[in-house]
Amino acid sequence: MELTDRAAVDEVLAGKHESFRVLVDRHGRKVFGLAYRMTGNEQDADEVVQETFLRSFKRLSSFESRSSFSTWLYRIASNCALDLLAKRKQDKLHLVENERPEEDGNREERALEYAAPDPDPERMLLSSELRDRVAKAMQRLTAVERTAFVLRHFEGQSISEIGAVLKVKDEAVKNTIFRAVKKMRGELEPFTAAGALKGGLR
């Protein structure tokens, strides 16, 4: 019989560290999905996945069965992604500071290019422009807005679960999601109006 998450945690805490693999096998892909949507590229997502499991392993003793293991793990993953986004922002600032002087608009555009996802063949198709728009619109969100939006829109987490990740109250989460949606609409609605979103991307 397959180990439950709780049983695997107990075995690891009892010294059988190999049982941690059960948790990695069971949750690895989902953590990657969350990390990818939060960071916007595979390399950073892989880094977040590694850090998430490493951090959760070290903090396993603080896991109490108040919430499911997956909720606890995704909370750690969200925090790891937030930390990485903050680090990338710093890196980008340094990068921009070190560039030769140029127009502000170009500079912003260039900073965004560094964070844009790697190109892939799918993006050569008809919907590629729209996907780029979504990706760029998401890059324009602040780290906190992006976290709240990804967790609500893609992961379907509740307001209070998102509040626990961001360590803010429900009202603040609602405001953050609203700000994020407003920005996304601002970027994408010209396409909606032009009918480019006909049929959607799903």
Partner 1 sequence: MTHVSEQDLVLYFYGDADTPALLDQHLADCPECSAEFARLRTTLSAIDFPVPERAPEYEAQLWSTLRPRLQQADAPKRSFWSAALQPRRWAIAGALAAIVVAAFLAGRYLPRGKEKSNPEMVQKAPARSGGDRVLMVAVGDHLDRTEMVLVELVNARAEGKVDISAERGAAQELVNSNRLYRETAQHDKDPELASMLDQVERVLVDIAHHPDSVSGKELEELQQHIESQGILFKVRVVESKVKARSRPESAGATKKETSSTL
42 touches partner 1 (CB under 8 A)? yes
Q: Select the residue interacting with partner 1 from 11, 19, 32, 96 (CB under 8 A).
A: 32
Residue among 121, 188, 96, 178 at smallest CA distance from 145? 178
185 touches partner 1 (CB under 8 A)? yes
135 touches partner 1 (CB under 8 A)? yes
Question: Which residues have a Cβ under 8 Å from the Cβ of 27 and sit 6 or more positions away?
Answer: 69, 70, 73
Residue among 136, 94, 129, 95 at smallest CA distance from 115? 136
The footprint of partner 1 on residues 64-83 (CB under 8 A) is: 64, 66, 83
Q: Select the residue interacting with partner 1 from 2, 15, 121, 126 (CB under 8 A).
A: 15
Task: Note whether 24 and 9 are within 8 A (CB).
Answer: no
Q: Which is nearer to partner 1, 105 or 121 (CB)?
A: 121
Q: Select the residue interacting with partner 1 from 65, 90, 113, 116 (CB under 8 A).
A: 90
Matching residue, tokens 């032009």:
194
Mark residue 41 as left, alpha or beta (left: phi above 0; alpha: psi -120 to 50; beta: remaining). Answer: beta
Both tokens assigned to 66: 């108040």
Q: Which is nearer to partner 1, 110 or 132 (CB)?
A: 132
Residue 19 C-beta: closest distance to partner 1, Å: 11
SS3 108: helix
Distance separating alpha carbons of residues 132 and 130, to the nearest angstrom: 5
Query: Residues interacting with partner 1, by CB under 8 A?
Result: 12-13, 15, 17, 20-21, 24-25, 28-29, 32-33, 36-37, 42, 49-50, 53-54, 57-62, 64, 66, 83, 86-87, 90, 120, 122, 130-131, 134-135, 138, 152-154, 159, 167, 174-175, 177-178, 181-182, 184-185, 188-189, 192, 197, 200-202
